[in-house]
Every structure is written in structure tokens, then in C-alpha cells.
Chains A and B, each alone.
Chain A
Amino acid sequence: MSTITERLRRALGSDVLGLLGLFVITVIAFGLTTPHFLSVGNFESIGFQLPDLGLLTLAMLAPIVSGGINLAVIATANLSGLTLAWILNMNGGPQAGVVPFVIGVVAALAVGGASGAAMGAVIAYFGAHPILASLAMMIFLKGLGEFLTRGGDISGFPAFLGQLGHGVVLGVPVPMLVFTVAAILWHVMLARTRHGFSVGMIGSNPRASEYSGIPVKRSLTLIYTISGVMCAIAGILMLTEFNSVRVGHGEALLLVTVLACFLGGVDPNGGFGRVAPVFVSLLILQTLSSGLNLLGANQHLSTAVWGLFLIAVMVFRFASSARLRGLFKTVGK
């Protein structure tokens, strides 16, 4: 028993293990108290709801590890979605074929990447504070989107898009597949590539990183660019799910993405953050929300419960690390 937990701990890290435990507890608690919670339908609905928040959280995660933040994730996703919608509408709307869709997707990814690159360059080369730079980018993108759409919805897309947004492959919702692949790629990018290594170093100390020969400015610009591309993927997915695009769609998720990162043990000061624990945190948040929904609670209540839950986790983490520090103090001096 102890060797199995030990092996798991080594493979996943103690943070993931703790969160997985929390996830299991949540599932069991709702399973015992809520009818229909342990049903295929419920887990399928979690699989459809989780990916939007999940992809946006990944887009938030990488800039936080680099010591910054990207407050423009929702706005970037919206504008990328608009780009795709615009190209589809130009090519017959509901009658548009696959080719315009592919072109639209490429254009949407390009728009997402470009807005990320612009933001990253301002942060890296002009030394702007990431909060201010990304806030400015958020306001700009949002304003631009409202100007282009006059504040309304754009809808009327080809039917095959619905199969993407609502399809199921081998019992797994397509959006969940997209999110899982994105999470794996994100994990490889942060944990195994030179770029990911550099991002962590920069997040801890950009000057010392530069002295060691890390291309700090280039890496920062790149990480915001990739974050923008991830936002675009989220925007495209949202379009296929809702069959419409509107500026401001999903705005309530912005700060939840930040908190999901911190719940997953990402260091708010930068330098440290892993995808796996963040992934499990997202599972927990979505399970909480679905469970409460099945209990008949108002959707806003589940947002409030998320907040309380995150506060509890922060207090617990702080208390346990303070206890550790106390221990070192007595031994160290």
C-alpha cells in the first residue's frame, strides 16, 4: 500500500495526489446525496462544460508561470471567435463548407496569436506591467469587437459545427478531447521544452535569467503569443458549442481561470506551475458546479461556492506552509 502511494506520489507529485483525493471526495459526496449525479449523462455534461474554462485556464497558466498574467484571455477568445464567424458569414453562413471553416480557424488562431504577441512585446520590450498591458489589450479587443458587432450576436453557422461542439467520440465529448490534447501539449511545452524551462526561470528572476543567456524578451513575447493562440482555440470551441458569438461571452470566467491556477498550486509570484494539478483542480471546480446544479441550486450559488472553496484551499495551504516554516525556524537558528 505504502509503496503504491509512494510510486504514485513520485509519478504525479504530492500536489496532484492531494487534489485527486479532493476530487474523489467531491464525487463520492455528491454521489451519495444527489440523485442522477453518478450517471453517464452528468459526466458527459461535465465533459462539455469543462473545456471552455479549461482552455482559458491553460491560456492563463503560462503567463502566470512567466511572472505575469493575461487578463485578455476572454477578450482574445471572443475576437478570435468573431474572426471565424465573420469568415463563415462571408462564405454563405449556414451553407459554408469545410474550406471556409478551415480558413476561418487559421485566421482565428492568427488573430489570437497576434494579439498575444502584441501584448507580450509591450511587456517584454517596453517593460510594461503585465496587469496593465493585458488589461489595456482586453479593453482594446473588447471595444473593437463591440464596434464590429454593434454589441449583438453573430449566428447562423453550418450544421457540421454543431457536431464538433456537441459530438461524442467513443463516449467522450469532442470538446473534452480537444481540451485533453491541449493540456498534454501544454504540459510538454512547460515541462520539457527549452522554452518552457526558460519561462519558469524568467518567472523567478528575469535579470538572473538574462545573465545566464536566456533570451528573456523573446521568450516572454512567445509565451503571450502561445497564450493568445490557446485563447483562440477556446473561442473557436465556444462558437461551435453555442452556435453564436457575442463579445463578452464567458466574461465571468476570467477570474475563475486565475483562481483555478492558484488552486492547482501555481505560484502567484511566478516561476512555478504545472499543468497536471491545474487539470485536476478544473475537474473539481466543474464537478462542484454540476453537483450543485443537480441539487437544484442557482447557478450563481455555484460561483459563490467556488469562491469559498478556493479561499478554504488557500488558508489550508498557507497554514501548512507556515507550519513548515516554523519548523525550520526552530532548527535553523
Chain B
Amino acid sequence: MTEPSPRPSIPASEAIRFEHVSVRFGGVLALDDVSFSVGQGEVHCLAGENGSGKSTLIKVIAGVYQALPGVRTDYFGESVAAPTPQLARRKGVAVIWQDLALFPEMTVAENIAFDGLVGGLRLVNYHAIRETARAALAKLGVELDLSAPLKSLPISGRQLVAIARALASDAKLVFMDEPTASLTQTETDRLLSVVRTLSSTGVAVVFVSHRLAEVLDVSSRVTVLRDGRLVGVFDAEGMTQSRLTELMTGKQFDHAVTARDVGDAPIVLETSGLTRQGEYSDVNLTVRAGEVVGLIGLIGAGRTELAHTLFGMSRANSGSVQLSGSAVAFTSNREAIAAGIGYVSEDRLALGLVQPQSIADNIVVTTLKQISDADGLISVAKKSAAVAKGIGEFAIKIGQPGDAVSTLSGGNQQRVVLAKWLATAPKLLILDCPTVGVDVGARDGIYKIVRGLAERGIAILMISDEVHEVYFHSDRILHMAGGRIVAEYDPRRISIAELERAVYA
């Protein structure tokens, strides 16, 4: 692969310039001689996988961590010897973490004006609070109900409140950690227009993410980190997500359409006219044995709701479901599992795995009967054999099978989920956003596993909100919007750009 010419172009006046940043934790060098600069009013991307040092770098800039000696730190052209959190904030650096750190029970106005409120014994002036909040929102060019409690706002609204809060304390440089992770396309667009407004008033914004395709448009430069080192600073123009992925992982991925024809393999799942009031309506779909069907749609399209019905966790109002030719109407997901359906939830933390329990127990949880002896007791030997099989088959990288599953990386956790479902010998696997929270570099492994499962004859319904995912990794694509399946595509007969337009239009 040819390196694009790194372009360390220096904007007219700089917001920050950090050079030779190294940070050591115990024996680990978390950052190794990294330099980073952002121009005033610039929109910049800081890209890297989990563990690449992005968060560490931000914390150095925000004054939370101290870099090793030899570092040079400038804030707005002024050299600072040892930044502290207070000093960084006074200089105008604000960080909006992914969890936003707001107060759900307080109003929008109180959240925005919060930093001016704390400390001191002055009485709270509610008029001043509203004025501060109104001024900050005006700078963003958005309108929100100032007296609404924060918890009544969607995530995207809360994010705007967090930005306004930064502006209310005179931020000149705002870091946004994974800002688009939980936004729909429309909400992302609104966020980007707010960022443009900020940039035009001289406030610099740094997006910190491993998913940057949607913010490249508004950015001017991209800084890429890998394993604590600087890969380079690149022009955002002409940068693509796949190029970025290669830079972040140092690996090349073959982005080729993997769709195949399954011919007239037996139909495993067929729904007709499936409707559940307020969630989805008139859903007709088929998935054949060995086929990977991608179900693409934005958040709120009814995808997960449909999956819940297929998995027996909710009931349709009308329509029918046929599994391998016989009509089914499950009253619980245990019936669905017994009939040969597995469901990989999009929420691995809360629903996919029992996080504090061991890797071993999470693998065998779906097959307790198989690992029991005739006397009804769980057989230690059968259990460890089943665990070893799952770990081996999916090449799960673990310490001990008895370790909590929460100690694994996202990719390995997802392998545990897949292992526990494969153990049930399913006919149909429903994958709901299978690579959410999985590092870019580990995603290919998951896709290969999914392909392998399909080749064994398992029918796979892969739900996703990422066009890339369904385009490159499914045999057929169904597009869901507003609770209906609105179109069907063959990835071999459509370009990814066309598909993106169709889905995000």
C-alpha cells in the first residue's frame, strides 16, 4: 500500500500544539513520542482503534495525565510547563466524553450553565442560568426547550446540550469522543451542521472515533494513532473509511463483495404479512439454508422489534412465520431456541452475555441439558469439553475459562456469544448488529466466522445499520424503513454508493 503524503500543514494560528508526547503506565508505553496540533477553528479527526492511545492523548491535553519530560505543550501559542485540568479548561479546552457527563434530572438550562454554578456560596440566579443557556444555544444555532428535564431529550439532544455547556464556559477547542456512535443519520447530519457553525466562529472541534466516514466531509485533517504511535497526519479530502481502517490497523482488508447464490437451498425462514402494531408491518421475507441475508435500516426502522418476534420474545398481531416449512408461533424464546433459532443481541453488555459470570458458564448456558448426566447433574467433564470446543472452534483468546467474560475484548466477547448459539445447533441465526463495539481490526474475524456458519448450512439474518457490513458480507440485502421492508438488493448488481444513497436518503 502506498502511504499518502503526510501533510503536516500548519494552519495560520494554532489552538494547540503538543510535541514529543510520551506517557508511561507501569511498564507500558501508552504514548510514544506523539505530536498533535489543531488549528483555531479547525475540524480535526483523531482516529485509532481501542487502545491506540487516543484517550490518553486527550487526557494529556486536558491536563489529566502528565507526559514524560521532553514534551512541548502550547495552548493558543503560549507554552505551558505542566498543564493541570483547571489550567486546560481556563485555556479553553473542553472534552465531551461519550457518556456526556450530564445530569439527567436537571433541566437543559441548568446543565448548560452548570460550570458557572458550582463552587462558591452565591445564591443560584435562575434568570442568569437561562440567559447563559440561551446564549450558548444561539451560538450553536439550535433551539431546545430550556426548562425541559435533560432526561426527556434523545441522545442527540443531550449531545447538543453537552456542546452548549462547553461553549458556556468559553471553550475554544472541543474534543468529542465517539460522537456519532448512537446517532441516526439525520441526527448525525444535524450534529455536523452544528460543528460547521462552531468552526466558522473560530471554535476548533476534534472528533475522536474509530468510525469516521460520516465526519470526514466536514473535517480538514485526520491524525491517525496506532499502538501509541503516530501513523501520520493526513488530508481529510480523498480519505475513505477503508483507507482509514488500513491506517488504523496497519493491515489491508479485501473489501470485496462476498455474495453468492444459494440457488434453491431449502427455505429455513419465511414470514408473510407479519405485523405488530407500532413496530413493523406486512413483513415478507425468506432466508434459505446457507444464505446470509442483510437487513439494513436506521435505528427505529423496526429491525430489532422484528427480530424479537422471530426469537419468540414478542408476538405478532397478524401474519405468519414458517420455520423449515412448518408454521410456528412461539410463546417464549425457549420455544424458539428449541426450534433452532439463535439471537445475537446488539446489546452485548446488557443482553448478549451475563458479564460478571465466567467465559465457560456463558458458553454452556444455552446447552445445560446436553452437558448434564443421566442423574440430572451437570457433568464437569462434559462441561469442560463443551467449553474447550467453543473456545477452540472460534479461536477465542482467553486467559482462563473461569475468568469473567467481561475481561475479554469486544471481538472475543462476540465470539463467545456465537459459540453459545452454535452449540445449540441452530437452523437460523439472527445477528443484530454483530460488530457493534468490536474493533475494526477484529471485525473481519467475525465476518469470516459468519461466512463459515453459513457454509455449514445455517440460515443467517444479519441486521445492521452499517451499509458496509451488509454490502460486503451478505448474499442479499433487504432494506427496512418505517417498519416495512421497502426494497431488496443484490450486492453484485448495485454499487455501495447507490446503496448508501438509498438507505440514508
Contact = CB atoms under 8 A, between A and B. Distances in A.
A204 B357 contact: yes
A215 B334 contact: yes
Interface string A206-232: 011111111100000000000000000
A212 B377 contact: no
Contact of A212 (B27, B30, B355, B420): B420
A194 B377 CA distance: 7
Given A192-B378, A208-B353, A271-B357, A201 B26 contact: no
A194 B355 contact: no
Nearest to B332: A215
Contacts of B357: 200-201, 204, 271
Interface in B16-41: 25-28, 30
A300 interface: no
Contacts of B84: none
A205 B354 contact: yes
A212 B366 contact: yes
Contacts, number: 72
A71 B164 CA distance: 49
B107 interface: no
Contacts of A207: 350-351
B372 interface: yes
A197 interface: yes
B30 A333 contact: yes
Contacts of B376: 193-194
Nearest to B420: A212
A197 B56 CA distance: 40
A200 B352 CA distance: 16
Nearest to B338: A213
B361 interface: yes
Contacts of A331: 25-28
Contacts of B372: 194
B165 to A, nearest CB: 26
A213 B312 CA distance: 10
A211 B345 contact: yes
B365 interface: yes
A2 interface: no
Contacts of B420: 212
Nearest to A332: B25
B356 A204 contact: yes
Interface in B318-345: 333-334, 337, 343, 345
A42 B502 CA distance: 83
A188 interface: yes
Nearest to A196: B378
A197 B378 contact: yes
A211 B333 contact: yes
A208 B406 CA distance: 13
B369 interface: yes
A298 B25 CA distance: 54
Contacts of A215: 334
A330 B365 contact: no
Contacts of B351: 207-208, 211
Contacts of A201: 354, 357, 361, 365
Contacts of A205: 350, 354-356
Contacts of A194: 368-369, 372, 376, 378
B366 A208 contact: no
A212 B365 CA distance: 7
Contacts of A210: 333
A213 B26 contact: no
Contacts of B25: 330-333
Interface in A210-265: 210-215
Nearest to B376: A193
Contacts of B30: 333
Contact of B56 (A192, A200, A333): A333
A204 B345 CA distance: 18
A211 B366 CA distance: 10
B29 to A, nearest CB: 12
B377 A188 contact: yes
B369 A204 contact: no
A185 to B, nearest CB: 12
A207 B352 CA distance: 9
B26 A197 contact: no
A271 B368 contact: no
A49 to B, nearest CB: 33
A209 B354 contact: yes
A205 B350 CA distance: 8
A71 to B, nearest CB: 24
A204 B354 contact: yes
A213 B334 contact: yes
A170 B187 CA distance: 77
Given A204-B357, A205-B355, A208-B354, A213 B28 contact: no
Nearest to B424: A213
B262 to A, nearest CB: 28
Nearest to A200: B357
A330 B23 CA distance: 12
Nearest to B362: A212
A200 B362 CA distance: 11
A235 to B, nearest CB: 28
A202 to B, nearest CB: 9
A96 B129 CA distance: 80
Contact of B350 (A192, A208, A214, A333): A208
Given A194-B372, A208-B352, A211-B345, A330 B26 contact: yes
Nearest to A189: B377
Contacts of A188: 377
B418 to A, nearest CB: 13
A308 to B, nearest CB: 30
A269 to B, nearest CB: 8
A239 B333 CA distance: 46
A204 B368 contact: no
A193 B30 CA distance: 46
Nearest to B383: A197
A117 B39 CA distance: 67
B355 A204 contact: yes
Interface string A312-333: 0000000000000000001111
A193 B26 CA distance: 43
B408 to A, nearest CB: 14
Given A205-B356, A208-B354, A271-B354, 16 more contacts: A193-B378, A194-B372, A201-B361, A204-B354, A204-B355, A208-B350, A208-B351, A208-B355, A212-B365, A213-B333, A213-B334, A213-B365, A214-B365, A272-B356, A331-B25, A333-B30
Interface of B: 25-28, 30, 56, 313, 333-334, 337, 343, 345, 350-357, 361, 365-366, 368-369, 372, 376-378, 420
27 contacts: A193-B377, A194-B368, A194-B369, A197-B361, A197-B378, A201-B357, A201-B361, A204-B354, A205-B354, A207-B351, A208-B351, A208-B355, A209-B365, A211-B313, A211-B333, A211-B343, A211-B351, A211-B352, A213-B365, A215-B334, A271-B354, A330-B25, A331-B25, A331-B26, A331-B28, A333-B25, A333-B30
In the A-B complex, list the 4 residue pairs whose CB atoms are closest, starting with the nearest: A194-B368, A213-B337, A192-B377, A330-B26
